[in-house]
Amino acid sequence: MEFIAHIREDGKIQSVEGHLTGVQTLAEIYGEKIGIKHICGLAGMLHDIGKYTVEFKEYILEAIKNPENPPKRGSVDHSTAGGKLLFKLLHGKTASDPYKMLLAEIVGNAIIAHHSYLKDFLSPNLSSPYLERVEGTVLKEFNLSEESFFDKVMTCSQFDHYIGEAAEELKLFHEREPGEKTLMFLTKFVFSTLIDADRTDTRKFAENDQSSNESASLMSLYYERLMSKISSFKDGTDADHPINRLRSEMSDQCEAFAEKPSGIYTLSIPTGGGKTLASLRYALKHALTYQKKRIFYILPFTTIIEQNAEEVRKILNDREHILEHHSNVIEEQENEEDEKADGTISAREKLKLAKDNWETPIVFTTMVQFLNAFYAKGTRNIRRLHNLSDSVIIFDEVQKVPVRCVSLFNHAINFLKTHCHASIVLCTATQPALDYVEHRLELDTDGEMVRNLDDVVDDFKRVDIIDRATDETFGTEKLAQFVLSKAEEIDSVLVILNTKKVVKDLYEQIKGLVDIPIFHLSTSMCAAHRKEILENVRELLRDERPVICLSTQLIEAGVDVSFKCAVRSIAGLDSTAQAAGRCNRHGKDKLQYVYVIDHVEEELSRLKEIQTGKRISKKMFIDLKLNPEAYNGSILSTAAMSNYFREFYSELAGDLNYFISTCRKDMTDLLMISRRNNEYVRDYREKTNQSLLLYLANSYGTAADHFQVIDQQTQAVLVPYRVGKRIIAEFNGNRFHIEEVSQLLKEAQQYSVNLYRYEIDRLNANGGITALFDGSVLALIEGSYSEEFGVDLENETSFGFLDY
């Protein structure tokens, strides 16, 4: 009997054994990068053995016969059998090898979860979703699935040998760093390889794609093009400017540092010091020296992604292989079967199969997406995780790691260093004290790339910080008058406030009082919109024409603009330093001024980190008033920044481990606590009068259900701005090949805005939002997006946009 895995639209059948061996091969390639080829291959070869049943074949054939009334999608369980087989063979009473039993748990969990997410071995409610699947689920044709696998894919003796290889890999991997933390990350890595291998093999079959999965390395070509660009700087008219000489020296130091083995290093170039090119120079040189496959730039805001990715594309002369990944344009559904009942690919599945897995040589993405790859629920995020191995990962503006994610971030980075051959660069002018906290980051000794850092900071001084926050307060009206007075004295003024509301209020207060260009920036605008505004601002700045720009903090981390005056509402000391980096950025003028003010109309009650940073910064400003020699005489010195972050993390020490209130547990405990210290294991024994017969007892699924980087979950929504109108129309067309979907998803990120659930509900109530592509993609109607402010929740915008 021929068993069916998938049916292509042209009627071509992919057999189950063809799919299993295809996924096995890909998973082996992905796993071999970190020495777990057979562990990952085991997941690939067993993941769909549940399709070796008459029931599943009849399910597909029935759907072909009755396309108008097919069986319910997912009504036949084909995910459990592989995990059940491993549990039966490796976790029975006769099992004597603990690593084989662990193998059953790690790989079995990945298999049973490959349509949803990893299961809890033991949940807070003292159930075991993993055991319920592999031990408690009755599969009528399980014996047929087992017999067919050993008959068509691998003999029993070959399988035993393969299991032995996988168990030895597991033993070596675990001995390198024993503990539940290592096993948790290993499980997630295996799960990542399975998801990517499964979707890649399915996509290649669906698209009849015969191409190789391996692509030639472009690192050598990129390095040549970068060095050619750097050489051209020496011929510039301002090459001998002190700032440019310093930039060149630090860039050279990064080149030399690239010879060191992979590790966790810091690059503390001051703002405006050319860290994008310097870090790229390190990354390319290190990739060539140590055969790294990819370079990742992880950034806090999409604004910096757009700017830096464009800069790198121009220098490397490549627009095809440099990916910007801002957010997921589609919202993943839980427990959703991949194919329709007849085995063909649905519209939603085309979105899931699209190449969205960080496989390009250079990837620009956000801190949210990086953390989601390790900790968020669903399969779309974790699919990307394995591609972080064998890479150089540059965290630009790393001080923006959300406080409650600090421990999770540190654990992930330590895993990438220890097990995944990754080299990590923490790149910022304001290094946070991530090696100071309880779950510390394992920074390498002598790991700062810039020599004589204090001298460099002094040489880079381009502004004076004026404290207007400790003796007075500002409301919107008073601040408007202050900004207008500065605009009369000097031709360009930047104002950065802590909330979108006060930025908008200030804009509306000022815009009718001046006849010079005034611009508003916030995250309510899509990336393309913000980019257009910033280009207009930069043009005015280049021509030294008057301009006022009002923005939230999105402008301050790495955005290449240079105003002659800046005003910053007080927050963390790192925010003051970053705002200073947007003033007199290139040192072309004499010392300019950055005014730090206290805006009393900002509502910060739900912004604990900003509140805490504001309080510590105020205290340090007062210290300097009382003692001008404090912090080496400068609020922006390395001594001041070190003191600030130590106080900041000390004050927020209870928030660093991602506390989950409903479980009364830190997420680090749910994921990484040892079995002997796990109170759920003790409670389970008391409740059931028996021990939990598992090596692992962690709550992977529960942790993922509660994880979100920002306080409230958001969803990307397409907006009808410029090209966005065309993208919305194409999604509405609903007919694509998967490759076309991949390209459209990339384009769509420039024309989407992340909205909270309450904002989506409000737009929906006002008729301002619509669903596309079988309900998978949300988009605003034209009246819900404004040229001045972006998303209009009231759907009152009365004008559209030109198409170009």
pLDDT for 564? 96
Same domain, residue pair 18 and 144: yes
pLDDT per position as a tens digit, 537-559: 999 999 999 999 999 998 986 68
708-719 b/e (C-beta count within 10 Å ≥ 16 → b): bbeeeebbbbbb
In three-state secondary structure terms, 385 is helix
Contact yes or no for 284/449 (Cβ under 8 A): no
Residues counted in the chain: 804
CA–CA separation, 457 and 448 (whole Å) = 14
Same domain, residue pair 470 and 443: no
Same domain, residue pair 492 and 398: no
C-alpha closest to that of 554 among 753, 724, 708: 753
> In DSSP terms, which residues pair with 792 in a beta bridge?
none
- Give the pLDDT mean for 179-202: 95
Is 215 domain-assigned? Answer: no
Pairing of strands 423-427, 264-267: parallel
Given a cut of 50, is residue 392 above it in pLDDT? yes
Is 593 domain-assigned? Answer: yes
Given a cut of 80, is residue 339 above it in pLDDT? no
pLDDT for 346? 59
Tokens of 564: 């002659």
Same domain, residue pair 384 and 469: no
Helix, strand, coil shares of the chain as percentages rounded to 5?
50, 15, 40
Task: Tell me which of 401, 431, 452 is where a domain ends.
Answer: 452
Is 634 domain-assigned? Answer: yes
pLDDT for 93? 58
Given a cut of 60, is residue 317 above it in pLDDT? yes
Same domain, residue pair 394 and 440: yes
pLDDT per position as a tens digit, 234-243: 877 778 888 8
pLDDT for 352? 52
For 333, 696, 777, the CA distances from 377, given in Å and listed in that order, are 10, 19, 19
Concatenating the DSSP letter of every residue in 477-545 gives HHHHHHHHHHHHHSSEEEEE-SSHHHHHHHHHHHTTT-SS-EEEE-TTS-HHHHHHHHHHHHHHHHTT-
For Cα atoms 397, 401, 404, give the angle at the middle one, nearest 5 degrees. Answer: 170
Same domain, residue pair 469 and 598: yes
What residue spans of 673-714 are helical by DSSP H? 679-688, 700-705
Same domain, residue pair 430 and 492: no
Is 753 domain-assigned? Answer: yes
- The residue with tokens 């075991």 is 128
- Give the pLDDT mean for 90-105: 84
What range does the domain containing 182 cover?
A: 4-206
pLDDT for 589? 79
pLDDT for 213? 66
Question: Would you tell me how many other CB atoms lie within 10 Å of the CB of residue 192?
Answer: 28
Given a cut of 50, is residue 36 above it in pLDDT? yes
Same domain, residue pair 261 and 389: yes
- Give the pLDDT mean for 455-473: 91
CATH number of the domain enclosing 594: 3.40.50.300
Is 224 domain-assigned? Answer: no
pLDDT for 798? 33
Task: Tell me which of 389, 420, 452 is where a domain ends.
Answer: 452
Phi, psi (deg, nearest 5) at residue 624? -70, -35
Same domain, residue pair 431 and 485: no
C-alpha closest to that of 719 among 671, 687, 751, 672: 751
Domain count, the chain: 4
330-343 b/e (C-beta count within 10 Å ≥ 16 → b): bebeeebbbbbbbb
Same domain, residue pair 141 and 254: no
pTM to 2 decimal places: 0.88
Is 242 domain-assigned? Answer: no
Given a cut of 60, is residue 781 above it in pLDDT? yes
Q: In which band, very low, low, confident or very high, does the pLDDT at 433 lie, cut at 50, 70 and 90?
A: confident
Tokens of 26: 């890909």
Is 541 domain-assigned? Answer: yes
Is 332 domain-assigned? Answer: no
pLDDT for 800? 29
- Give the pLDDT mean for 22-28: 98
Task: Tell me which of 417, 452, 487 is where a domain ends.
Answer: 452
Same domain, residue pair 522 and 630: yes
- Give the pLDDT mean for 173-182: 93
Same domain, residue pair 441 and 497: no
C-alpha closest to that of 607 among 453, 770, 403: 403
Integer distance in angstroms from the first to the last C-alpha of the chain?
56
For Cα atoms 789, 795, 797, give the angle at the middle one, nearest 5 degrees. Answer: 55
pLDDT for 512? 86
